[in-house]
Amino acid sequence: MIRKRLSDELKEAMKARETTRLSTLRLINAAIKDRDIAARSEDNTEGVSDADILGILAKMIKQRQDSAAAYDEAGRVELAEGERAEISVIQSFLPKQLSEEEQAKAIADAIAASGATSIRDMGKVMGVLKSKYAGQMDFARVGPQVKAALG
């Protein structure tokens, strides 16, 4: 489903001559293709799943956020803006982000589902969250919230 949408939007960007959007969509396709090749086996001929693609997109956003911050610190505003433009294109393929209240409920549900009782169970909780809410929350921000809930 995400692959089809990516393909359609790539064609649209070509027709509309949207260079930033087009280059970003090509980067997304390349990242997915790389992961497809790595995951290819006799059992798996279709490539990565939509959930894996959401993980790829989330990783791409994180990389661009880090780059934009580094460019801002170095005073390279035009490069930081380019990274932010790519982030907005990538985010358009992610599902709606959870609100703070929805995140808190998801964390509580994940703790209950995993049977976590202490900070040592944080990995289990994060695993449940990542499998259920890939692309819907920023796990770098959720980690400290899970830690606080378990601590």
Task: Tell whether 65 and 107 lie within a shared domain.
Answer: no
Contact 150, 121 (CB under 8 A): yes
Span 125-150, average pLDDT: 86
Q: Cα–Cα distances in Å, from 131 out to 18, 21, 108, 128?
A: 34, 29, 15, 5
Residues 83 and 144 occupy one common structural domain? no
Helix H or strand E segment including 4: helix 2-16
For residues 70 and 128, state if they share a domain. no
The answer on 112 and 71 residing in a single domain is no
For residue 16, the domain's CATH number is 1.10.1510.10
- At 1, is the pLDDT very low, low, confident or very high (cuts 50, 70, 90)? confident
Instruction: Report pTM.
Output: 0.74
Q: Where are the beta strands (DSSP E) in 38-141?
A: none
- Rounded to whole angstroms, what are the CA distances from 64 to 46, 70, 76? 28, 10, 14
Domain of 81 in residue numbering reads as 2-91
Q: Tell me the pLDDT of the chain averaged across its residues.
A: 90
Q: Per-residue pLDDT for 44 more than 80?
A: no
For residues 48 and 118, membership in a common domain is answered with no
- Chain segment 64-86, per-residue pLDDT in tens: 999 999 999 999 999 999 999 99
Taken as a whole, the chain contains a residue count of: 151
